[in-house]
Structure 1
Amino acid sequence: MAGVFDIEINDQDDDGRAEDAIDVDADEEFLSASSSSGIEMAEGFESVPLSEALVNPSTERIGPEHFQLLKVLGKGGYGKVFQVRKIAGAHLNRIFAMKVLKKASIVRNQKDTAHTKAERNILEAVKHPFIVDLIYAFQTGGKLYLILEYLSGGELFMHLEREGIFLEDTASFYLSEIVLALEHLHKQGIIYRDLKPENIMLDAQGHVVLTDFGLCKESVEEGDMTHTFCGTIEYMAPEILTRTGHAKAVDWWSLGALMFDMLVGAPPFTTDNRKKTIEKILKGKLVLPPYLTPEAKDLIRKVCL
Structure 2
Amino acid sequence: MNIVPSLHSDKVTQFRLLYTLFKDSISSTHLCRKCDDFKLYAMRILNKERVRIRSSHDHIQFQMDICQEIRKLRSAFLSPFIWIYEDGLEIHSIAEFYPNGSLQDLLDRDTSLSESHTLQIACEIVEALDTLHTAGIIHRDLAPCNIMFDASGHVVITGFGQACRPDSAASFPLPDTGLYCAPELILGWAHDFGVDCWSFGLLMYMMLFGSHPYVADNDNDNAAILQTKVLHSSLMVPRTMSVSWTVQDLLVQCLERNAALRLDIEQIRAHPYFCTV
Q: Compute the TM-score of the two structures, normalised by the length of structure 1.
A: 0.65
Q: Distance in 1 between matches of 2:244 and 2:66?
A: 37
RMSD: 3.5
TM-score (norm 2): 0.70
Alignment partner for residue 77 of structure 2, among 130, 139, 155? 130
2:194 equivalent to 1:249: yes
1:195 alignment partner, one of 129, 142, 150? 142
Post-superposition offset of 1:73: 3.6
* 2:140 is equivalent to residue 162 of structure 1: no
Q: Which residue of 1 aligns with 2:275?
A: none
1:288 pairs, out of 221, 225, 237, with: 237
Amino acid at match of 2:2: L
Deviates more, 1:75-84 or 1:182-191: 75-84
Residue 209 of structure 2 corresponds to residue 264 of structure 1: yes
Query: Percent identity at matched positions?
Result: 31
Q: 1:212 to 1:294 in 2, by over 3 A?
A: same
Give distance in 1, aligned partners of 2:43 and 2:169. 33
Q: In the superposition, relative to structure 1, how do residues 297 and 205 fare at CA in structure 2: closer, same or farther (>3 Å)?
A: same
Alignment check: 8 A CA contact 2:42 2:94 kept = yes
Pairing 1:55–2:3 present: yes
TM superposition shift of 1:207: 1.9
Q: Give distance in 2, aligned partners of 1:239 and 1:148.
A: 29
How many Å apart are 1:206 and its aligned residue?
Answer: 1.8
Q: Max radius of gyration: which structure?
A: 1
Distance in 2 separating the partners of 1:108 and 1:239: 19
Identify, as 1 or 2, the structure richer in helix: 2
Counterparts of 2:14 and 2:186 in 1: how far apart (Å)?
Answer: 44
Specify whether residues 270 and 100 from structure 1 end up closer, same or farther in structure 2 by C-alpha distance, changes over 3 A only. Answer: closer
Q: Is residue 52–residue 175 contact of structure 2 (8 Å, CA) maintained in 1?
A: no
Q: What is the count of residue pairs matched by the alignment?
A: 241
CA contact (8 A) 2:51 2:175 kept: no
Query: Does the CA contact (< 8 Å) of 2:184 and 2:190 recur in 1?
Result: yes
Task: Pick from 148, 159, 167 the counterpart of residue 212 of structure 1.
Answer: 159
| Structure 2 counterpart of 1:110 | 54
Q: CA deviation at 1:288?
A: 1.7
Deviation at 1:125, TM superposition (A): 2.4
Q: Which moved more, 1:234-243 or 1:190-199?
A: 234-243
Residue matched to 1:84: 32
SS in 1 for 2:235: coil
Letter in 2 for 1:207: H
Shift of 1:105: 4.9
Consecutive unaligned residues in structure 2, runs of 5 or more? 5-9, 257-277
Residue identity in the other structure for 2:122: L
CA distance in 2, matches of 1:97, 1:276: 32
CA shift, 1:80, in A, is: 4.7
Distance 1:304 1:169 in 2: 21
**Letter paired with 1:55:** I
Distance of aligned partners of 1:214 and 1:144 in 2 relative to their CA distance in 1, 3 Å threshold: closer
| Cα distance in 2, alignment partners of residues 201 and 193 from structure 1 | 16
Structure 1 position 255, deviation (Å)? 0.8
Shift of 1:232: 4.2
Deviation, structure 1 residue 140: 6.7
| Greater shift in the superposed pair: 129-138 or 249-258 | 129-138
Cα distance change of structure 1 residues 112 and 266 upon mapping to structure 2, 3 Å threshold: farther
Is 1:303 the counterpart of 2:259? The answer is no
| Structure 2 counterpart of 1:196, one-letter code | A
Structure 1 equivalent of residue 123 of structure 2: 176
